[in-house]
Amino acid sequence: MAKASQAAAPAVEKISLLRVLGPAHVWALGVGIVLVGEYMGWNFGVGKGGAYAALIACWFAGLLYTCVAMIDSEVTSTVAAAGGQFTQAKHIVGPLMAFNVGLYLVFAYTMLEAGNAITIGFLVDTVANMAGHSGIDQRPFIILSIMFLAWLNYRGVLATLNFNLVITAIAFIAVILLFFGVAPWSADSPLKHADLMAGDAALPYGWIGVVAAMHFGLWYYLGIEGTTQAAEEVRSPARALPFGTMAGIITLLIAATLTWYVCAGLMPWEYLGQAGVPLFDAGRLSGSTTLMVLLGIGTLFSTLASANGCINDASRAWFGMGRDHYLPAWFGAVHPKFRTPYRSIIFLVPVALVFALGAPLDQVITFSILSGLLEYTFMPINVILFRKKWPLDTIKRGYVHPFHPLPALVLLALCAVTYFAVFLGYGTQLIAMVGFYIVVSLWFHFWRYRFVKRGDQFTMPWPRPRGY
């Protein structure tokens, strides 16, 4: 009787995320999150150290993120699961590190999402002032943007990243057209680098200003590592993740350098260092109404693309932690129709709204940078242990990053410099963030870890690590 009833019982179907994405979607996710950094935020580094300091920070941060992209491409093409670096840490380092890395990801992306929403409200207010309507309430536009993008993510990842692909491409093309529009090779070009960067304006605070500028130099590229969150939803992780990530960092290096060049040639460093939407200001100062409108559209599209990608990435990290019982398993649910981590998407909406409506932009940016910086500090440790435990001849990788362990060591050194840069301007916030992560680590160790299914942690079909 018991055997007969078991045979008659219907099989339970496990609902999983859909594998529908390709390399272009990975590019759209990585560049879409980051390109807003060219439209706003990076210029606060000019205020820290001057225009030249911001350029040096741009290139050193570019080196940092090139290391990040190479390391991520190797490890993620091998550990292809939702959660990205959280899942990597779970397999390679251990549960406590995985829990912290998961929180770093969620805070970095949620704070960046809040910063994007603040920028959308600021942009609407700026356009309204130009049209003669002052005193516009920005809050409805902040709320509407977050709610709309959360709904889009709720409905499906393919539509979400198709939307990102289109608007990110438009925003990137706008930067290219601005460069050609100001015609730096022409005698009539409005760019005045020689006048604006002469004398003390070059490095107003000396070389310590260059170090301080590294704080916001990260904003040119912060979020490119989010491509790892698509690992479980791409059709071919070994091909799509390395290609999309490396193409993304190349795109951002080009956009960052062109952005600095045009903005530093149109605005004095004192104004540029505190401008809310510097590329839109550059469009206005170019003397072309077409460029002004195009850069206004580009600013709006870049902020929407970034917030959209942040919702995608934060929800996947939260979902991965819930599925593995690092958080309540309720968050690990997949929508039966849309195949998205819908509960995680919904849960993080009010968190983003609280910061978007109640915190200043530079504080929100710093929260995001610090969380990202803690994650980048983990990555060198992660890849060194990965190569040590599973050498190249033991498991197949989709991509092998060159010059190991040099990129890991360079990344670690640049992270140390950036910590010092953040401490110079936001030391209290840095100490508070580190203290917060210590407290939640203790909570996880003494309470939450008892709910983690320890036997289910290792899900990759790999041989035992060397030295096991």
Say how many Å lie between the first and final Cα of the chain, rounded.
46
Helical pair 406-446 and 95-130, crossing angle rounded to 10 deg: 100
Rounded to whole angstroms, the Cα distance separating 148 from 150 reads 5
Does any domain span residue 3?
no
- What would the pLDDT profile of 331-389 be if each residue is shown by its tens digit? 999 999 999 999 999 999 999 999 999 888 878 888 888 999 999 999 999 999 999 99
The model's pTM: 0.91
Give 294's strand partners.
none
Percent of the chain exceeding pLDDT 90 equals 68
Indicate the helix (H) or strand (E) that contains 136.
none
- Torsion 231-234-239-245 (CA) sign: negative
Domain limits at 402?
A: 25-456
Q: Are 66 and 414 in contact (CB under 8 A)?
A: no
pLDDT band at 266 (very low <50, low <70, confident <90, very high): very high
How many domains does the chain contain in total? Answer: 1
SS3 393: coil
Q: What's the confidence (pLDDT) of residue 14?
A: 67
Q: Are 17 and 234 in contact (CB under 8 A)?
A: no
The more confident residue out of 66 and 459 is 66
Q: What's the confidence (pLDDT) of residue 41?
A: 85
Which residue, chain included where needed, has tokens 């706003």? 40
Query: Is residue 125's pLDDT more than 70?
Result: yes
Does any domain span residue 463?
no
Q: Are 105 and 378 in contact (CB under 8 A)?
A: no
Does any domain span residue 14?
no
How many other CB atoms are there within 10 angstroms of residue 9's CB atom? 8
Does any domain span residue 191?
yes
**Rounded mean pLDDT, 438-466:** 88
Q: Are 63 and 414 in contact (CB under 8 A)?
A: yes
Q: Are 123 and 368 in contact (CB under 8 A)?
A: no
Which CATH number does the domain housing residue 451 bear?
Answer: 1.20.1740.10
* DSSP sequence for 72-131: HHHHHHHS-STTTHHHHHHHHT-HHHHHHHHHHHHHHHHHHHHHHHHHHHHHHHHHHHHT
CA atoms within 13 A on the CB side of 74: 24
Does any domain span residue 67?
yes
Rounded to whole angstroms, the Cα distance separating 169 from 297 reads 12
Most confidently predicted of 77-91, 116-130, 249-263: 249-263
Q: What's the confidence (pLDDT) of residue 12?
A: 45
Q: Which H, E and C letters describe 268-308, residue by residue?
A: CHHHHCCCCCHHHHHHHHCCCHHHHHHHHHHHHHHHHHHHH
Does any domain span residue 411?
yes
Q: What's the confidence (pLDDT) of residue 13?
A: 55
Rounded to whole angstroms, the Cα distance separating 205 from 197 reads 13
Q: Are 421 and 213 in contact (CB under 8 A)?
A: yes
Kindly list the distances between the CA atom of residue 309 and the CA atoms of 64, 313, 352, 391, in Å, as whole numbers in the listed order: 21, 6, 13, 33
